[in-house]
Structure 1
């Protein structure tokens, strides 16, 4: 059965929801900061970005576990991420999420776009 993933990655927390195609929420996860520029205070960008990706991965895996499904079951994922403002930010995050298999189709956008 196909499922979708929605992620809100903010400066204080990251939340992930897994839903069936009819919109029924099947699992949720919550983790730390998902902002690639602010996830690890006092560190340079590569370390902060790595910390953010680790937080996102933890959060998505928690949602997958709660839903009782595998990442391979995700058809589409949308990542609404604080701090993702530039094309290179989107590419970085999309590549990281593709490497983890978090959806066949993966969209990354700034968190402000998630409400539109």
Structure 2
């Protein structure tokens, strides 16, 4: 069975979830802020890595079992931000297809399946 990974790396915390393809959540992890431009940005991506590892561990899922991942990240605004985050994610052993978005996109999609609406942050 293959699984999917979802990560919300925000300004205050990072949450990672591992789910089966049917949407059943099987693992969760939490870490500190994930914003790459936070004043403590040196901690941002390690916090993301910690949350992802904890989610995988609680799910009992190996990286190789992931069919894909989505990273909804604060501070990810430009193509070079997306490429930078993807490079870091790849360096932590995720070989599955991934997508990186700004965290407002994740909030919008979570609140409105058709993607229409407004996010006030």
Normalising by structure 2, report the TM-score. 0.85
- Shift, 1:87, TM fit: 1.0
Which residue of structure 1 aligns with residue 91 of structure 2?
A: 99
Which residue of structure 2 aligns with residue 16 of structure 1?
A: 16
Q: Is the 8 A contact 1:19 1:25 kept in 2?
A: yes
Q: In structure 2, do the counterparts of structure 1 residues 22 and 39 end up closer, same or farther at CA, with 3 Å as the change threshold?
A: farther
Q: Is the 8 A contact 1:6 1:18 kept in 2?
A: yes
Q: Which has the higher contact order (CA 8 A, sep 6+)?
A: 1
Which residue of structure 1 aligns with residue 50 of structure 2?
A: 58
Which aligned pairs between 1:14-53 and structure 2 lie closer than 5 A? 14-38=14-38, 40=40, 48=41, 50-53=42-45
Which aligned pairs between 1:78-93 and structure 2 lie closer than 5 A? 78-93=70-85
Which aligned pairs between 1:57-76 and structure 2 lie closer than 5 A? 57-76=49-68
Aligned residues: 108
Runs of 4+ aligned structure 1 residues displaced above 2 Å come to none
User: SS state of the match for residue 66, structure 1?
Assistant: helix
- Shift, 1:27, TM fit: 0.4
User: SS state of the match for residue 27, structure 1?
Assistant: strand
- When the two chains are superposed, the root-mean-square deviation of aligned CA atoms in Å is 1.1
- Shift, 1:101, TM fit: 2.3
